[in-house]
Amino acid sequence: MKRYFEFEEWGTGYRQESMAGLTTFLAMAYILFVNPSILSEAGMDEGAIFTATALSAAVGTLIMGLIAKYPIALAPGMGLNAFFTYTVVLTMGIPWQIALFSVFVSGVIFIFITLFGIREKVINAIPSQLKYAAAAGIGLYIAFIGFQNTGIVVADESTMVALGDMTQQTTVLACFGLLVTVVLMVLGFQGGIFYGMVITAAAGMLFGVISLPDAVVGSVPSLAPTFGTAFTFLGELEWSAQMAGQIAIVVLTFLFVDFFDTAGTLYGVANQAGFVKNNKLPRAGRALLADSSATSIGAVLGTSTTTAYIESTSGVAAGARTGFASLVTGVLFLLSLFFSPLLTVVTDEVTGPALIIVGVLMASSLRLIEWDKLEMALPAFLTVVAMPMTYSIATGIALGFIFYPITMVLKGKGRDIHPIMYALFFVFIIYFAFLGA
């Protein structure tokens, strides 16, 4: 085991890697409750989503640890789950079963383009500025959803959005949760987001805002309501050219969103750990294969796209340097399957503060953007602001990738642009044409 994970080369050991793996798990354990909360709004069974979330996180993280040997954990992605529910299902009107099928197809496509090295080449061709912008934009998008779900921000006919009723019990509880989580995070508590949710839920139960759970430990919820529905539902559809075209657009959208969201997160974590050399990640193909495989498996189980988690940086900060830390995190996700009764106390007021804080963490990449260079700043800015303003991650990414070649050519730096970026310029133009059709 020591030789396989090269403990001596990285100056680490079992204890250090185990504690780091535990730290990563605590930092991202909130997804076990936040993901069911978000996806259930699409009409899916909350218990089944909980089980699918834990299993897909465990499988993806174990694959990452064993094959890529990186201390990077995976789980259904924040932002991607919101895109699944609020854009694809609730806005576009696509049944959640078809959305799951689209996630599966995107995962299979990713597996093939990863095996042929295409995905790695494209990711390496993307300028780091746009990667940072994508991560930050997703952070703002997630935070906006958190503010909405807690009632801190509400719809307004005159200004589109406005401050909500801050005297409502649920909103007050959410604000308390946000304050507690901020205190824990600022003081450096590992797993501050998770513990903030625990304290918020406890306060909600204490003051009667949240009902008490029937139990803490229970049987593993059945996957029956979601398992395989991505395929069984297809036989019930009345197929038409319009339906096929609609599904194709959804698959294409998931491809775009997951492709670049994963790139930003994966490279962000790897960069902090010191794995990135010359803007390239060694064994990137293996890491991307773990992500692609977990996405397809997760879709079969019944959850949205599985991806690398930025919270893995907490484990890296705690000393994680090898894939053994990922093995520890994966096993802990399997053990978490028995705590499903706690889903009843994890309400929007409990998960909202977590969404906001995750948004803050992801937005930290803004500091890495070269704001003094307008040819870089403009496409990066459009990427960041378009995501929350259009309620679409894909739109933000598309705008950034369209304006980047334009500003670089105008600056006389057209030769500095990778040919793949020129190709993506036209791809995203076509993407917008499909949306308008």
CB 341 within 8 A of CB 76: no
341-394 tens-digit pLDDT = 877 787 888 878 888 887 888 788 899 999 999 999 999 999 999 988 987 777
User: At CA 301, angle to CA 263 and CA 303, rounded to 5?
Assistant: 50
Give the up-direction half-sphere exposure of residue 417: CA atoms within 13 A in the CB hemisphere.
24
The string of DSSP codes covering 241-265 is HHHHHHHHHHHHHHHHHHHHHHHHH
Q: pLDDT 10s digit of each residue in the chain, 437 long?
A: 888 888 888 788 888 889 888 878 877 888 898 899 899 999 999 999 999 999 999 999 999 999 989 999 999 987 788 888 988 888 878 889 988 998 999 899 988 888 887 877 777 788 888 888 887 887 898 789 889 889 999 988 889 899 999 999 999 999 999 999 999 989 988 668 778 888 999 999 999 999 888 888 888 999 999 998 888 877 666 666 666 766 777 787 777 777 766 766 677 677 767 777 776 777 877 888 888 899 999 999 999 989 888 778 767 777 788 899 999 999 999 999 988 887 778 788 887 888 888 788 878 889 999 999 999 999 999 999 998 898 777 788 889 999 999 999 999 999 999 998 998 898 888 877 765 54
| 152 vs 148: CA distance, rounded Å | 6
In the chain, where the domains are located: 2-77+98-125+143-240+278-360
Q: Helix (H, G, I), strand (E, B), or coil: what is residue 270?
A: helix
Phi first, then psi: give them for residue 276, nearest 5 degrees. -80, 130
| 335 vs 25: CA distance, rounded Å | 11
| 306 vs 296: CA distance, rounded Å | 8
CB 125 within 8 A of CB 421: yes
| 264 vs 162: CA distance, rounded Å | 31
Question: How long is the chain?
Answer: 437
**Predicted structure pTM score:** 0.75
| 295 vs 263: CA distance, rounded Å | 14
| 100 vs 127: CA distance, rounded Å | 31
